[in-house]
Structure 1
Amino acid sequence: MSEIKQITSLQNTLVREILVLKEKSRERRKKGLFVLEGRRELQLALKGGYEVVTLLYCPEIMPAKDILEMKRILNDGTTLIELSPKVYQKLAYRATTEGLIAVSKTKDHSLTNLALKNRNPLILVAEAPEKPGNIGALLRTADAANLDAVFIANAKGDIYNPNIIRSSVGCIFTNSIAMGSTSDIISYLKEHDISIFCAALTASKNYTNIDYTKGSAIVVGTESTGLTYDWLENSDQNIVIPMQGEIDSMNVSVSAAILIFEAKRQRDFSTPNAI
Protein backbone atom coordinates (compact mmCIF):
# COMPACT_ATOMS: atom_id res chain seq x y z
CA MET A 1 0.00 0.00 0.00
CA SER A 2 1.41 3.39 -1.02
CA GLU A 3 2.36 6.23 1.31
CA ILE A 4 -0.61 8.01 2.84
CA LYS A 5 -1.45 11.33 1.22
CA GLN A 6 -3.19 14.31 2.81
CA ILE A 7 -5.81 16.73 1.53
CA THR A 8 -6.56 19.95 3.36
CA SER A 9 -7.88 22.16 0.54
CA LEU A 10 -11.48 22.25 -0.66
CA GLN A 11 -10.16 23.16 -4.11
CA ASN A 12 -8.23 19.89 -4.47
CA THR A 13 -8.91 18.18 -7.80
CA LEU A 14 -9.85 14.86 -6.17
CA VAL A 15 -12.32 16.60 -3.86
CA ARG A 16 -14.06 18.14 -6.86
CA GLU A 17 -14.08 14.81 -8.71
CA ILE A 18 -15.68 13.01 -5.75
CA LEU A 19 -18.37 15.67 -5.43
CA VAL A 20 -19.21 15.22 -9.11
CA LEU A 21 -19.30 11.42 -8.72
CA LYS A 22 -21.78 11.77 -5.86
CA GLU A 23 -24.05 14.13 -7.76
CA LYS A 24 -23.94 12.96 -11.39
CA SER A 25 -25.05 9.50 -12.51
CA ARG A 26 -23.62 10.20 -15.96
CA GLU A 27 -20.18 10.69 -14.42
CA ARG A 28 -20.49 7.44 -12.44
CA ARG A 29 -21.37 5.53 -15.59
CA LYS A 30 -18.63 7.22 -17.60
CA LYS A 31 -15.86 6.47 -15.10
CA GLY A 32 -17.23 3.22 -13.69
CA LEU A 33 -16.80 4.59 -10.17
CA PHE A 34 -19.07 5.44 -7.25
CA VAL A 35 -18.77 6.82 -3.73
CA LEU A 36 -19.76 5.05 -0.53
CA GLU A 37 -19.62 6.20 3.05
CA GLY A 38 -19.38 4.39 6.38
CA ARG A 39 -17.57 1.40 7.84
CA ARG A 40 -20.40 -1.07 7.50
CA GLU A 41 -20.96 -0.17 3.86
CA LEU A 42 -17.24 -0.49 3.12
CA GLN A 43 -17.03 -3.89 4.81
CA LEU A 44 -20.07 -5.16 2.90
CA ALA A 45 -18.68 -3.84 -0.38
CA LEU A 46 -15.38 -5.62 0.15
CA LYS A 47 -17.19 -8.80 1.15
CA GLY A 48 -19.25 -8.48 -2.03
CA GLY A 49 -16.12 -8.41 -4.17
CA TYR A 50 -16.04 -4.69 -4.96
CA GLU A 51 -12.67 -3.14 -5.78
CA VAL A 52 -12.02 -0.07 -3.64
CA VAL A 53 -9.78 2.40 -5.46
CA THR A 54 -9.43 5.11 -2.83
CA LEU A 55 -10.09 5.27 0.91
CA LEU A 56 -10.41 8.72 2.45
CA TYR A 57 -10.67 9.20 6.17
CA CYS A 58 -10.59 11.92 8.80
CA PRO A 59 -8.27 10.96 11.68
CA GLU A 60 -9.97 13.49 13.94
CA ILE A 61 -13.22 11.52 13.59
CA MET A 62 -12.14 7.93 12.96
CA PRO A 63 -10.16 6.32 15.82
CA ALA A 64 -6.62 5.16 15.00
CA LYS A 65 -7.47 1.52 15.81
CA ASP A 66 -10.30 1.60 13.26
CA ILE A 67 -8.03 3.08 10.64
CA LEU A 68 -5.57 0.22 11.20
CA GLU A 69 -8.39 -2.31 10.87
CA MET A 70 -9.50 -0.76 7.57
CA LYS A 71 -5.95 -0.92 6.26
CA ARG A 72 -5.80 -4.64 7.01
CA ILE A 73 -8.87 -5.49 4.95
CA LEU A 74 -8.06 -3.29 1.93
CA ASN A 75 -6.06 -4.57 -1.02
CA ASP A 76 -2.57 -3.32 -1.77
CA GLY A 77 -3.74 -1.19 -4.69
CA THR A 78 -5.97 1.06 -2.61
CA THR A 79 -4.83 4.65 -2.19
CA LEU A 80 -5.16 5.99 1.38
CA ILE A 81 -5.83 9.68 1.90
CA GLU A 82 -6.17 11.66 5.13
CA LEU A 83 -8.72 14.47 5.04
CA SER A 84 -8.88 17.54 7.22
CA PRO A 85 -12.18 17.91 9.13
CA LYS A 86 -13.19 20.78 6.83
CA VAL A 87 -12.67 18.72 3.67
CA TYR A 88 -14.36 15.68 5.18
CA GLN A 89 -17.46 17.66 6.13
CA LYS A 90 -17.63 18.94 2.56
CA LEU A 91 -17.58 15.41 1.15
CA ALA A 92 -19.65 13.64 3.80
CA TYR A 93 -23.20 12.76 2.85
CA ARG A 94 -24.52 11.97 6.29
CA ALA A 95 -25.31 14.33 9.13
CA THR A 96 -23.97 11.74 11.58
CA THR A 97 -20.60 10.78 10.21
CA GLU A 98 -18.08 8.00 10.81
CA GLY A 99 -15.06 9.61 9.25
CA LEU A 100 -14.73 7.30 6.25
CA ILE A 101 -15.44 7.68 2.53
CA ALA A 102 -14.41 5.33 -0.28
CA VAL A 103 -14.34 5.39 -4.05
CA SER A 104 -15.00 2.00 -5.62
CA LYS A 105 -15.34 0.50 -9.07
CA THR A 106 -18.87 -0.37 -10.18
CA LYS A 107 -19.94 -3.82 -11.33
CA ASP A 108 -21.55 -4.98 -14.55
CA HIS A 109 -25.14 -5.89 -13.67
CA SER A 110 -26.17 -7.25 -17.06
CA LEU A 111 -28.22 -10.45 -17.17
CA THR A 112 -25.41 -12.32 -18.91
CA ASN A 113 -23.21 -11.86 -15.82
CA LEU A 114 -25.73 -13.41 -13.42
CA ALA A 115 -25.03 -16.94 -12.23
CA LEU A 116 -27.91 -18.55 -10.33
CA LYS A 117 -26.64 -21.22 -7.92
CA ASN A 118 -30.01 -22.54 -6.76
CA ARG A 119 -31.91 -24.92 -9.03
CA ASN A 120 -35.19 -23.47 -7.75
CA PRO A 121 -34.32 -19.81 -7.27
CA LEU A 122 -36.48 -17.23 -5.56
CA ILE A 123 -36.13 -13.88 -7.29
CA LEU A 124 -37.56 -10.41 -6.77
CA VAL A 125 -38.27 -8.35 -9.89
CA ALA A 126 -38.97 -4.63 -9.55
CA GLU A 127 -40.16 -2.86 -12.69
CA ALA A 128 -39.13 0.77 -13.14
CA PRO A 129 -38.66 1.65 -9.45
CA GLU A 130 -38.00 5.36 -9.08
CA LYS A 131 -37.76 6.33 -5.41
CA PRO A 132 -34.30 5.58 -3.92
CA GLY A 133 -35.92 4.88 -0.55
CA ASN A 134 -38.12 2.17 -2.04
CA ILE A 135 -35.23 0.61 -3.94
CA GLY A 136 -33.13 0.59 -0.79
CA ALA A 137 -35.96 -1.01 1.20
CA LEU A 138 -36.44 -3.68 -1.49
CA LEU A 139 -32.74 -4.52 -1.34
CA ARG A 140 -32.86 -4.74 2.46
CA THR A 141 -35.80 -7.16 2.22
CA ALA A 142 -33.98 -9.22 -0.41
CA ASP A 143 -30.96 -9.47 1.86
CA ALA A 144 -33.08 -10.39 4.88
CA ALA A 145 -34.72 -13.19 2.89
CA ASN A 146 -31.41 -14.24 1.28
CA LEU A 147 -32.97 -14.15 -2.19
CA ASP A 148 -31.10 -15.66 -5.10
CA ALA A 149 -31.29 -12.45 -7.11
CA VAL A 150 -32.93 -9.08 -7.55
CA PHE A 151 -33.83 -7.99 -11.08
CA ILE A 152 -34.50 -4.35 -11.91
CA ALA A 153 -36.47 -3.99 -15.13
CA ASN A 154 -36.46 -0.76 -17.13
CA ALA A 155 -34.38 1.03 -14.51
CA LYS A 156 -35.15 4.73 -14.21
CA GLY A 157 -31.90 5.70 -12.57
CA ASP A 158 -28.49 4.65 -11.38
CA ILE A 159 -28.21 1.81 -8.86
CA TYR A 160 -25.14 3.52 -7.35
CA ASN A 161 -27.07 6.66 -6.43
CA PRO A 162 -25.82 7.63 -2.93
CA ASN A 163 -29.43 7.74 -1.71
CA ILE A 164 -29.92 4.10 -2.72
CA ILE A 165 -26.67 3.02 -1.06
CA ARG A 166 -27.65 4.85 2.11
CA SER A 167 -31.26 3.61 2.24
CA SER A 168 -30.17 0.03 1.53
CA VAL A 169 -27.68 0.25 4.45
CA GLY A 170 -25.16 -1.49 2.21
CA CYS A 171 -27.47 -4.26 0.98
CA ILE A 172 -26.78 -3.14 -2.56
CA PHE A 173 -23.48 -4.96 -2.04
CA THR A 174 -24.93 -8.14 -0.51
CA ASN A 175 -27.47 -8.96 -3.24
CA SER A 176 -26.98 -10.44 -6.69
CA ILE A 177 -28.45 -7.67 -8.84
CA ALA A 178 -29.21 -7.86 -12.54
CA MET A 179 -30.65 -5.13 -14.74
CA GLY A 180 -32.30 -5.25 -18.14
CA SER A 181 -35.38 -4.44 -20.14
CA THR A 182 -38.71 -6.00 -19.24
CA SER A 183 -38.65 -8.13 -22.38
CA ASP A 184 -35.10 -9.35 -21.73
CA ILE A 185 -35.87 -10.28 -18.12
CA ILE A 186 -39.07 -12.09 -19.11
CA SER A 187 -37.10 -14.08 -21.69
CA TYR A 188 -34.46 -14.92 -19.09
CA LEU A 189 -37.07 -16.17 -16.60
CA LYS A 190 -38.79 -18.32 -19.21
CA GLU A 191 -35.50 -19.76 -20.47
CA HIS A 192 -34.62 -20.79 -16.91
CA ASP A 193 -38.09 -22.23 -16.21
CA ILE A 194 -38.83 -19.71 -13.47
CA SER A 195 -42.52 -19.06 -12.81
CA ILE A 196 -43.65 -15.44 -12.97
CA PHE A 197 -45.98 -14.22 -10.22
CA CYS A 198 -47.10 -10.63 -10.74
CA ALA A 199 -48.49 -8.48 -7.95
CA ALA A 200 -51.63 -7.07 -9.60
CA LEU A 201 -55.28 -6.39 -8.82
CA THR A 202 -56.81 -8.03 -11.90
CA ALA A 203 -57.25 -11.78 -12.50
CA SER A 204 -55.45 -12.40 -9.22
CA LYS A 205 -55.36 -15.13 -6.61
CA ASN A 206 -54.72 -14.67 -2.90
CA TYR A 207 -50.94 -14.72 -2.50
CA THR A 208 -51.15 -17.47 0.14
CA ASN A 209 -52.78 -19.86 -2.35
CA ILE A 210 -49.75 -20.03 -4.66
CA ASP A 211 -46.94 -22.60 -4.62
CA TYR A 212 -43.58 -20.80 -4.54
CA THR A 213 -41.44 -23.86 -3.81
CA LYS A 214 -40.26 -24.18 -7.42
CA GLY A 215 -38.27 -21.54 -9.29
CA SER A 216 -40.25 -18.35 -8.72
CA ALA A 217 -40.04 -14.67 -9.57
CA ILE A 218 -42.19 -12.26 -7.58
CA VAL A 219 -42.76 -9.17 -9.70
CA VAL A 220 -43.77 -5.77 -8.33
CA GLY A 221 -44.42 -2.48 -10.11
CA THR A 222 -44.66 1.12 -9.09
CA GLU A 223 -47.27 2.25 -6.59
CA SER A 224 -48.71 4.77 -9.04
CA THR A 225 -49.11 2.70 -12.22
CA GLY A 226 -48.41 -0.92 -11.29
CA LEU A 227 -46.95 -3.34 -13.81
CA THR A 228 -46.92 -2.85 -17.56
CA TYR A 229 -48.92 -4.99 -19.98
CA ASP A 230 -45.92 -7.12 -20.94
CA TRP A 231 -45.61 -8.48 -17.41
CA LEU A 232 -49.33 -9.14 -17.03
CA GLU A 233 -49.43 -10.85 -20.41
CA ASN A 234 -46.56 -13.18 -19.46
CA SER A 235 -47.56 -13.80 -15.86
CA ASP A 236 -48.09 -17.42 -14.83
CA GLN A 237 -50.42 -16.11 -12.14
CA ASN A 238 -51.27 -12.68 -10.80
CA ILE A 239 -51.26 -12.49 -7.03
CA VAL A 240 -52.85 -10.08 -4.58
CA ILE A 241 -52.62 -9.25 -0.89
CA PRO A 242 -56.23 -8.81 0.35
CA MET A 243 -56.85 -5.32 1.68
CA GLN A 244 -59.24 -4.85 4.61
CA GLY A 245 -59.21 -1.07 4.84
CA GLU A 246 -60.21 1.75 2.53
CA ILE A 247 -57.20 1.70 0.19
CA ASP A 248 -56.34 -0.98 -2.38
CA SER A 249 -52.53 -0.97 -2.20
CA MET A 250 -49.52 -0.65 0.08
CA ASN A 251 -46.01 0.69 -0.25
CA VAL A 252 -44.20 -1.45 -2.83
CA SER A 253 -41.43 -2.48 -0.43
CA VAL A 254 -43.97 -3.56 2.21
CA SER A 255 -45.95 -5.56 -0.34
CA ALA A 256 -42.79 -7.21 -1.66
CA ALA A 257 -41.74 -8.18 1.87
CA ILE A 258 -45.09 -9.85 2.58
CA LEU A 259 -44.98 -11.83 -0.68
CA ILE A 260 -41.33 -12.81 -0.32
CA PHE A 261 -41.65 -14.08 3.22
CA GLU A 262 -44.72 -16.13 2.35
CA ALA A 263 -42.58 -17.78 -0.32
CA LYS A 264 -39.81 -18.28 2.23
CA ARG A 265 -42.28 -19.77 4.73
CA GLN A 266 -43.44 -22.31 2.17
CA ARG A 267 -39.89 -23.23 1.21
CA ASP A 268 -38.78 -23.61 4.81
CA PHE A 269 -41.80 -25.75 5.58
CA SER A 270 -41.22 -27.97 2.54
CA THR A 271 -37.65 -28.88 3.51
CA PRO A 272 -37.24 -32.37 5.05
CA ASN A 273 -35.97 -31.07 8.40
CA ALA A 274 -38.51 -28.29 8.80
CA ILE A 275 -40.28 -28.22 12.17
Structure 2
Amino acid sequence: MAFLPDPITSPQNPRIKNLLRLQQKSSERRAQGLTIIEGLRELTIARGAGVAVPAVFVCPELAGPERQAQLRELLADGDTEWFPVSKAVFEKVAYREGSDGVLALARPPQLSLDDLQLPADPLLLVLEAVEKPGNLGAILRTADAARATAVIVCDPRTDLFNPNAIRSSIGCSFTVPTVATTRETLLAWCRRHGIRTYAAALTEQAVAYTSCDFRGPTALVMGTEADGLTPELMQACDQTIIIPMRGAIDSLNVSTATAILTFEAVRQREG
Protein backbone atom coordinates (compact mmCIF):
# COMPACT_ATOMS: atom_id res chain seq x y z
CA MET A 1 0.00 0.00 0.00
CA ALA A 2 1.39 3.40 -0.98
CA PHE A 3 0.82 6.42 1.29
CA LEU A 4 0.72 10.09 0.32
CA PRO A 5 2.53 11.80 3.23
CA ASP A 6 0.76 15.16 3.18
CA PRO A 7 -3.03 15.55 3.37
CA ILE A 8 -4.99 16.96 0.46
CA THR A 9 -6.30 20.34 1.61
CA SER A 10 -7.60 21.91 -1.61
CA PRO A 11 -10.87 21.02 -3.36
CA GLN A 12 -9.10 21.99 -6.58
CA ASN A 13 -6.76 19.04 -6.27
CA PRO A 14 -7.09 16.97 -9.49
CA ARG A 15 -7.88 13.78 -7.56
CA ILE A 16 -10.65 15.48 -5.64
CA LYS A 17 -12.11 16.97 -8.80
CA ASN A 18 -12.06 13.52 -10.37
CA LEU A 19 -13.90 12.06 -7.36
CA LEU A 20 -16.66 14.59 -7.87
CA ARG A 21 -16.89 13.74 -11.57
CA LEU A 22 -17.17 10.04 -10.74
CA GLN A 23 -19.90 10.74 -8.21
CA GLN A 24 -21.96 12.87 -10.54
CA LYS A 25 -21.54 11.34 -13.99
CA SER A 26 -22.24 7.77 -15.04
CA SER A 27 -20.35 8.46 -18.27
CA GLU A 28 -17.19 9.09 -16.22
CA ARG A 29 -17.71 5.90 -14.23
CA ARG A 30 -18.09 3.90 -17.45
CA ALA A 31 -15.11 5.56 -19.13
CA GLN A 32 -12.78 5.03 -16.15
CA GLY A 33 -14.18 1.65 -15.11
CA LEU A 34 -14.46 2.95 -11.56
CA THR A 35 -17.05 3.74 -8.95
CA ILE A 36 -17.05 5.17 -5.43
CA ILE A 37 -17.64 3.33 -2.17
CA GLU A 38 -18.18 5.42 0.96
CA GLY A 39 -17.93 3.82 4.37
CA LEU A 40 -15.72 1.15 5.94
CA ARG A 41 -18.59 -1.33 6.29
CA GLU A 42 -19.46 -1.14 2.59
CA LEU A 43 -15.79 -1.29 1.61
CA THR A 44 -15.23 -4.35 3.80
CA ILE A 45 -18.09 -6.17 2.05
CA ALA A 46 -16.74 -5.18 -1.36
CA ARG A 47 -13.23 -6.38 -0.51
CA GLY A 48 -14.70 -9.64 0.79
CA ALA A 49 -16.23 -10.08 -2.66
CA GLY A 50 -12.82 -9.60 -4.28
CA VAL A 51 -13.30 -6.07 -5.60
CA ALA A 52 -10.09 -4.21 -6.49
CA VAL A 53 -9.58 -0.87 -4.74
CA PRO A 54 -7.01 1.33 -6.52
CA ALA A 55 -7.25 4.24 -4.06
CA VAL A 56 -8.71 5.18 -0.70
CA PHE A 57 -9.27 8.71 0.63
CA VAL A 58 -9.27 9.00 4.42
CA CYS A 59 -10.09 11.89 6.72
CA PRO A 60 -8.07 11.09 9.88
CA GLU A 61 -10.20 13.45 11.97
CA LEU A 62 -13.41 11.58 11.05
CA ALA A 63 -12.03 8.06 10.74
CA GLY A 64 -10.04 8.02 13.96
CA PRO A 65 -7.09 5.71 14.72
CA GLU A 66 -9.11 2.51 15.25
CA ARG A 67 -10.96 2.72 11.94
CA GLN A 68 -7.73 3.62 10.12
CA ALA A 69 -6.06 0.53 11.59
CA GLN A 70 -8.96 -1.62 10.40
CA LEU A 71 -8.68 -0.05 6.96
CA ARG A 72 -4.94 -0.72 6.74
CA GLU A 73 -5.54 -4.36 7.61
CA LEU A 74 -8.36 -4.61 5.08
CA LEU A 75 -6.21 -3.23 2.24
CA ALA A 76 -2.86 -4.69 3.28
CA ASP A 77 -2.71 -7.29 0.52
CA GLY A 78 -3.53 -4.92 -2.36
CA ASP A 79 -1.91 -2.12 -4.34
CA THR A 80 -4.16 0.58 -2.92
CA GLU A 81 -2.92 4.18 -2.77
CA TRP A 82 -3.80 5.92 0.51
CA PHE A 83 -4.60 9.64 0.41
CA PRO A 84 -5.20 11.55 3.66
CA VAL A 85 -7.73 14.35 3.18
CA SER A 86 -8.57 17.35 5.35
CA LYS A 87 -12.02 17.44 6.95
CA ALA A 88 -13.11 20.44 4.87
CA VAL A 89 -12.20 18.70 1.61
CA PHE A 90 -13.65 15.35 2.67
CA GLU A 91 -16.99 16.95 3.48
CA LYS A 92 -17.13 18.25 -0.08
CA VAL A 93 -16.78 14.78 -1.59
CA ALA A 94 -18.73 12.76 1.00
CA TYR A 95 -22.28 12.10 -0.20
CA ARG A 96 -23.94 11.15 3.07
CA GLU A 97 -24.31 12.73 6.47
CA GLY A 98 -22.36 11.30 9.38
CA SER A 99 -19.64 9.85 7.15
CA ASP A 100 -17.00 7.71 8.84
CA GLY A 101 -14.20 9.38 6.91
CA VAL A 102 -13.54 6.58 4.42
CA LEU A 103 -14.11 6.85 0.67
CA ALA A 104 -12.61 4.53 -1.93
CA LEU A 105 -12.28 4.10 -5.66
CA ALA A 106 -13.28 0.60 -6.75
CA ARG A 107 -13.29 -1.40 -9.97
CA PRO A 108 -16.73 -3.03 -10.18
CA PRO A 109 -17.11 -6.34 -12.03
CA GLN A 110 -18.53 -6.21 -15.55
CA LEU A 111 -20.60 -9.36 -16.06
CA SER A 112 -22.68 -10.67 -18.94
CA LEU A 113 -25.43 -13.28 -18.78
CA ASP A 114 -23.02 -15.91 -20.04
CA ASP A 115 -20.72 -15.21 -17.09
CA LEU A 116 -23.36 -16.33 -14.59
CA GLN A 117 -22.76 -19.70 -12.95
CA LEU A 118 -26.27 -21.15 -12.75
CA PRO A 119 -27.21 -23.80 -10.21
CA ALA A 120 -29.79 -26.46 -11.08
CA ASP A 121 -32.68 -24.26 -9.93
CA PRO A 122 -31.60 -20.63 -10.19
CA LEU A 123 -33.58 -17.82 -8.57
CA LEU A 124 -33.19 -14.63 -10.58
CA LEU A 125 -34.51 -11.15 -9.86
CA VAL A 126 -35.17 -9.21 -13.06
CA LEU A 127 -35.75 -5.47 -13.09
CA GLU A 128 -36.88 -3.60 -16.17
CA ALA A 129 -35.67 -0.04 -16.76
CA VAL A 130 -34.85 0.63 -13.11
CA GLU A 131 -34.06 4.31 -12.67
CA LYS A 132 -33.90 4.95 -8.91
CA PRO A 133 -30.56 3.90 -7.38
CA GLY A 134 -32.21 3.57 -3.98
CA ASN A 135 -34.63 0.94 -5.25
CA LEU A 136 -31.84 -0.94 -6.99
CA GLY A 137 -29.77 -0.92 -3.81
CA ALA A 138 -32.68 -2.14 -1.67
CA ILE A 139 -33.35 -5.00 -4.10
CA LEU A 140 -29.69 -5.99 -4.04
CA ARG A 141 -29.90 -6.22 -0.24
CA THR A 142 -32.89 -8.53 -0.64
CA ALA A 143 -31.02 -10.61 -3.22
CA ASP A 144 -28.06 -10.98 -0.87
CA ALA A 145 -30.26 -11.89 2.11
CA ALA A 146 -32.13 -14.50 0.05
CA ARG A 147 -28.99 -15.86 -1.64
CA ALA A 148 -30.55 -15.18 -5.04
CA THR A 149 -28.51 -16.34 -8.01
CA ALA A 150 -28.30 -12.93 -9.69
CA VAL A 151 -29.99 -9.60 -10.31
CA ILE A 152 -30.55 -8.83 -13.99
CA VAL A 153 -31.47 -5.34 -15.15
CA CYS A 154 -33.06 -4.93 -18.58
CA ASP A 155 -32.46 -1.60 -20.30
CA PRO A 156 -31.36 0.19 -17.10
CA ARG A 157 -31.82 3.93 -16.66
CA THR A 158 -29.14 4.08 -13.96
CA ASP A 159 -25.79 2.34 -13.96
CA LEU A 160 -25.59 -0.70 -11.74
CA PHE A 161 -22.77 0.68 -9.60
CA ASN A 162 -24.12 4.16 -9.01
CA PRO A 163 -22.63 5.31 -5.66
CA ASN A 164 -26.14 5.81 -4.27
CA ALA A 165 -27.10 2.26 -5.23
CA ILE A 166 -23.98 0.97 -3.46
CA ARG A 167 -24.88 3.01 -0.39
CA SER A 168 -28.48 1.76 -0.38
CA SER A 169 -27.30 -1.82 -0.81
CA ILE A 170 -24.77 -1.44 2.05
CA GLY A 171 -22.20 -3.02 -0.24
CA CYS A 172 -24.40 -5.84 -1.56
CA SER A 173 -23.86 -4.43 -5.05
CA PHE A 174 -20.70 -6.54 -4.92
CA THR A 175 -21.99 -9.72 -3.26
CA VAL A 176 -24.70 -10.49 -5.82
CA PRO A 177 -23.83 -11.08 -9.50
CA THR A 178 -25.49 -8.20 -11.35
CA VAL A 179 -25.92 -7.95 -15.11
CA ALA A 180 -27.27 -5.27 -17.44
CA THR A 181 -28.79 -6.52 -20.69
CA THR A 182 -31.66 -5.97 -23.11
CA ARG A 183 -35.16 -7.39 -22.89
CA GLU A 184 -34.71 -9.49 -26.02
CA THR A 185 -31.39 -10.93 -24.88
CA LEU A 186 -32.80 -11.82 -21.48
CA LEU A 187 -35.85 -13.60 -22.85
CA ALA A 188 -33.81 -15.67 -25.29
CA TRP A 189 -31.35 -16.56 -22.54
CA CYS A 190 -34.13 -17.64 -20.16
CA ARG A 191 -35.68 -19.85 -22.82
CA ARG A 192 -32.31 -21.40 -23.57
CA HIS A 193 -31.78 -22.27 -19.90
CA GLY A 194 -35.32 -23.41 -19.18
CA ILE A 195 -36.01 -20.57 -16.74
CA ARG A 196 -39.69 -19.82 -16.12
CA THR A 197 -40.48 -16.10 -16.04
CA TYR A 198 -43.07 -14.59 -13.66
CA ALA A 199 -44.10 -11.01 -14.40
CA ALA A 200 -45.44 -8.97 -11.50
CA ALA A 201 -48.31 -7.14 -13.20
CA LEU A 202 -51.98 -6.40 -12.67
CA THR A 203 -53.73 -8.20 -15.53
CA GLU A 204 -56.87 -10.30 -15.93
CA GLN A 205 -54.69 -13.39 -16.30
CA ALA A 206 -52.61 -12.72 -13.17
CA VAL A 207 -52.73 -15.21 -10.31
CA ALA A 208 -51.81 -14.73 -6.65
CA TYR A 209 -48.11 -15.25 -6.10
CA THR A 210 -48.78 -17.80 -3.36
CA SER A 211 -50.40 -20.13 -5.90
CA CYS A 212 -47.23 -20.40 -8.00
CA ASP A 213 -44.46 -22.96 -7.75
CA PHE A 214 -41.14 -21.12 -7.57
CA ARG A 215 -39.05 -24.19 -6.76
CA GLY A 216 -37.74 -24.71 -10.30
CA PRO A 217 -35.59 -22.35 -12.38
CA THR A 218 -37.35 -19.03 -11.73
CA ALA A 219 -37.06 -15.41 -12.79
CA LEU A 220 -39.19 -12.86 -10.92
CA VAL A 221 -39.71 -9.94 -13.29
CA MET A 222 -40.44 -6.48 -11.90
CA GLY A 223 -41.23 -3.17 -13.58
CA THR A 224 -40.85 0.45 -12.53
CA GLU A 225 -43.10 2.07 -9.95
CA ALA A 226 -44.30 4.71 -12.37
CA ASP A 227 -45.06 2.57 -15.42
CA GLY A 228 -44.80 -1.09 -14.41
CA LEU A 229 -43.58 -3.54 -17.02
CA THR A 230 -43.64 -2.76 -20.71
CA PRO A 231 -46.34 -4.69 -22.58
CA GLU A 232 -43.65 -6.43 -24.63
CA LEU A 233 -41.91 -7.93 -21.61
CA MET A 234 -45.10 -8.66 -19.70
CA GLN A 235 -46.64 -10.57 -22.61
CA ALA A 236 -43.45 -12.52 -23.24
CA CYS A 237 -43.30 -13.89 -19.69
CA ASP A 238 -44.72 -17.31 -18.86
CA GLN A 239 -47.07 -16.12 -16.11
CA THR A 240 -48.29 -12.86 -14.60
CA ILE A 241 -48.61 -12.73 -10.83
CA ILE A 242 -49.94 -10.31 -8.25
CA ILE A 243 -49.61 -9.61 -4.56
CA PRO A 244 -53.27 -9.21 -3.48
CA MET A 245 -53.93 -5.77 -1.99
CA ARG A 246 -56.29 -5.63 1.00
CA GLY A 247 -56.54 -1.85 1.41
CA ALA A 248 -57.10 1.27 -0.65
CA ILE A 249 -53.72 1.21 -2.41
CA ASP A 250 -53.26 -0.97 -5.49
CA SER A 251 -49.48 -1.45 -5.50
CA LEU A 252 -46.33 -1.54 -3.38
CA ASN A 253 -42.90 -0.01 -3.71
CA VAL A 254 -40.96 -2.16 -6.18
CA SER A 255 -38.29 -3.07 -3.63
CA THR A 256 -40.94 -4.15 -1.12
CA ALA A 257 -42.82 -6.19 -3.72
CA THR A 258 -39.59 -7.84 -4.83
CA ALA A 259 -38.75 -8.80 -1.25
CA ILE A 260 -42.17 -10.40 -0.73
CA LEU A 261 -41.95 -12.47 -3.91
CA THR A 262 -38.33 -13.42 -3.33
CA PHE A 263 -38.86 -14.74 0.17
CA GLU A 264 -41.93 -16.68 -0.91
CA ALA A 265 -39.64 -18.44 -3.37
CA VAL A 266 -37.13 -19.02 -0.56
CA ARG A 267 -39.86 -20.40 1.71
CA GLN A 268 -40.99 -22.86 -0.95
CA ARG A 269 -37.47 -23.99 -1.69
CA GLU A 270 -36.59 -24.54 1.95
CA GLY A 271 -39.86 -26.34 2.57
Question: Smaller-chain TM-score range?
Answer: over 0.9
**SS of the residue 1:230 aligns to:** helix
DSSP-derived class of the 1:61 partner: helix
Point out 4+ residue stretches in structure 1 off by more than 3 angstroms: none
Structure 2 matches for 1:1-275, cutoff 5 A? 1-5=1-5, 6-74=7-75, 75-116=77-118, 118-202=119-203, 203-269=205-271
Name the TM-score, length of structure 2 as normaliser.
Answer: 0.95
Q: How far off is 1:105 after superposition? A: 1.3
Distance between the aligned counterparts of 2:3 and 2:155, measured in 1?
Answer: 44
The structural deviation recorded for 1:147 is: 0.6
DSSP 3-state at the match of 1:175: coil
Q: What's the offset of the Cα at 1:90?
A: 1.4
Q: Is the 8 A contact 1:183 1:230 kept in 2?
A: no
| Contact 1:213–1:266 (CA under 8 A) maintained in structure 2 | yes
What is the rounded CA distance, in whole Å, between the counterparts of 1:169 and 1:72 in structure 2?
Answer: 20
Any stretches of 5+ residues in structure 2 without a counterpart? Answer: none
Distance 1:76 1:50 in 2: 10
Structure 1 segments unaligned to the other structure (5+ residues): 270-275
The aligned amino acid for 2:227 is: T
CA drift at 1:261: 0.9
> How far does residue 234 in structure 1 lie from its aligned partner after superposition?
2.1
Structure 2 residue matching 1:96: 3-state secondary structure: coil
Tell me the equivalent position of 1:272. Answer: none
SS of equivalent residue, structure 2 residue 232? helix
Deviation of 1:50 (Å)? 0.9
Please give the per-residue CA displacement for 1:158-197, whole angstroms capped at 9, x wherever unaligned. Answer: 1222221111121111111111001111111111111111
CA distance in 1, matches of 2:70, 2:253: 39
Moved more, 61-70 or 206-215: 61-70
> Could you tell me whether the CA contact under 8 Å between 1:193 and 1:215 is conserved in 2?
yes
Query: What SS is found at the alignment partner of 1:62?
Result: helix
- What's the CA shift for 1:224? 2.1
RMSD, aligned α-carbons:
1.3
What CA distance in whole angstroms lies between the structure 2 residues aligned with 1:63 and 1:32?
30
Deviations 1:204-232 (A, max 9, x none): 11111111111100101112221122322
How far the C-alpha of 1:266 sits from its partner, in A, is 0.5
TM-score (norm 1): 0.93
- Quick one: distance in 1 between partners of 2:92 and 2:143? 33
Deviations 1:23-48 (A, max 9, x none): 11111101111111001110011111
Structure 1: which amino acid aligns with 2:31? K
Alpha-carbon distance in 2 for matches of 1:197, 1:163: 28
Q: Is the 8 A contact 2:111 2:178 kept in 1?
A: yes
How far is the alpha carbon of 1:4 from its aligned partner? 3.3
- 251-260 or 222-231, larger mean C-alpha shift: 222-231
- Output the CA distance in 1 between the equivalents of 2:208 and 2:108: 39
Distance 2:220 2:126 in 1: 6
